[in-house]
Amino acid sequence: MEVLKIVLMVVLAIISIVLTVVVLMQEGKSAGLGAISGAADTYWGKNKGRSMEGRLVMATKIMVALFLVIAAVLNIGSF
């Protein structure tokens, strides 16, 4: 059981580092003054889910879910 706990702690540390990198790679949500005039409706703006930014958002969601699940599993044994 101790081995599993150590493995989960290492995986949690790796996930937290990867999550930090993925969040820092994302662009800001503010579109600047282009959003006021409607210039944000470009091909890349409409297909953001298929772009690199869309994949980074999906990776962030997956990493957060894994982080929460592993942290909860590790916390169950500490009671």
Question: Does the model's pTM come out above 0.75?
Answer: no
pLDDT at 27: 79
Residue type, 14: I
The whole-number pLDDT of residue 1 equals 80
Which helix or strand (DSSP H or E) is residue 58 part of?
helix 52-76
Q: Structure tokens of 69?
A: 């699940």
Torsion-angle region of residue 26: left (phi > 0), alpha (psi -120 to 50) or beta? beta
Characterize 44-62 residue by residue with b for buried, 16 or more Cβ atoms within 10 angstroms of its Cβ, and e for exposed: eeeeeeeeeeeebeebbee
27-41 residue pLDDT tens: 776 655 555 555 555
pLDDT at residue number 43: 56
What is the rounded CA–CA span in Å between residue 6 and residue 20?
A: 21
With cut-offs at 50, 70 and 90, classify the pLDDT of residue 48.
low
Q: pLDDT band for position 75 (50/70/90)?
A: very high
